[in-house]
Amino acid sequence: MKIFSGLGLVVIMAANEAVVTRMKEIEPEHFFCALLKFSEIDENKVPPTITDKRLIDSIISERDKIREILKGYAINTTQVRRQLRTVLGHGNYQHKGGVIHRSTASRELFMKAILDAQQNREKLDSAQLLKTLLKEPTPAIKQVLKIEKPIIDEFPTGPIKEEQLPSQYLQDISQSVKATGLKAPKTLLPQVQVLTLAVQSKENDPILLICMPEVQAVPIVKYVAQELKDIKVIAEIDYNTMLKNAENKEKFKTLMIDVLTKSSNIENLILFVDTTKKEKETSLLLNILKPDLINNKQQFIVAVSEASYINLIETDSTFYEIFKTIWLHKLKDDYVLKEL
């Protein structure tokens, strides 16, 4: 997904807000102040470093979209910015140059904006960021806007239809996460963001997660289930129990195919297979899954170890071509935004 020009300018403005208020990181309120300031840009007062007419036209177009959204609030943008700065107060961090990072809350804001944009097949621009921010405004933003609940509600998804899973060997990760309300820790946010985007992609390619001892797939998939709980269900295939119940490998294969066949008709269901739990069965599992992975009708997330990737995926041209591969341990902070 492309990040459009106006949003790049908003990020710079938000970073400046963080510096002025002596905050270590860019918070959602800094982005809100930046968006308000962005709405005040005049055609003749675009930053002098921006000279390309097409870029200027794009920025003005985004500005107009921001103004349209803000119409419903009937606010003085300059006054609200000042009030918000007062509510936030000042920190004691002294910036000495260098990159200013987004806070965890701001990264989550961008993640939600990306998902909202994808869901509605829109662009990730500054207007989209504002819509997402106003859907779930922070307490400080609610205070200065004097609102009790979000006014923006343009993405009514509702809970997905509760489908009874067709097999005892399927465990609904989404249901367990809904109950606990898990939130990804800062250390796993890049992995959660990248996998969430991959799952939300228009392509239905199977996703391959390559795991190292220090980064395992199951916690990440659970956090992704939390992000997508109103859109999709992620169900893990419990092949360990299946192996115990099967008399032999042929019986196991029959049980697996039965699960795959019954699952293929359930809308918005993603099947998750973590082969790292039983390394010696990885080859068997992949070969059973292979026809379903190729036909691309059912969405899959498959986790493998680095050794299995080298020995089984790289050496098989079919597997190597069909998978969308994610090396979990290589993802670093802010990876998603940079890649976009």
Instruction: Kindly state the tokens that stand for 134.
Output: 């106003």
Nearest to 303 by CA among 254, 265, 270: 270
CA 191 to chain centre: 9
pLDDT of residue 55: 75
Name 234's bridge partners. Answer: 270
Of all helices (H) and strands (E), which one includes residue 170?
A: strand 170-172
pLDDT of residue 184: 66
Amino acid occupying residue 170: L
pLDDT of residue 161: 46
Residue 126 and residue 135: Cα distance in Å, rounded?
A: 14
Domain locations in the chain as residue ranges: 5-145, 170-339
Residue 185 and residue 193: Cα distance in Å, rounded?
A: 12
Query: What are the CA-CA distances from residue 53 to residues 37, 44, 57 (Å)?
Result: 21, 12, 6
Same fold, 5-145 and 170-339: no
Nearest 5°: phi and psi at 267? -70, 145
According to CATH, the superfamily of the domain at 5-145 is: Clp, N-terminal domain (1.10.1780.10)
According to CATH, the superfamily of the domain at 170-339 is: P-loop containing nucleotide triphosphate hydrolases (3.40.50.300)
CA 225 to chain centre: 10
Residue 57 and residue 254: Cα distance in Å, rounded?
A: 60
Task: Identify the three-state secondary structure at position 188.
Answer: helix
Residue 299 has what DSSP assignment?
E
- pLDDT, averaged in runs of 10, over the chain (340 residues): 69 90 92 92 67 78 88 81 87 83 91 82 85 90 71 42 71 65 70 83 84 84 83 89 89 92 83 90 93 87 93 91 84 49
How many CB atoms lie under 10 A from the CB of residue 212?
13
pLDDT of residue 152: 46
Nearest to 193 by CA among 326, 309, 5, 321: 326
Asked whether the beta carbons of 238 and 169 are under 8 A apart, the reply is yes
Asked whether the beta carbons of 175 and 293 are under 8 A apart, the reply is no
Task: Identify the three-state secondary structure at position 62.
Answer: helix
Task: Identify the three-state secondary structure at position 69.
Answer: helix
pLDDT of residue 105: 92
List alpha helices for the chain, DSSP H. Answer: 5-20, 28-39, 53-70, 77-88, 104-119, 126-135, 139-145, 173-180, 189-200, 217-227, 239-245, 249-263, 282-295, 306-308, 317-322, 335-339
Residue 301 and residue 204: Cα distance in Å, rounded?
A: 11
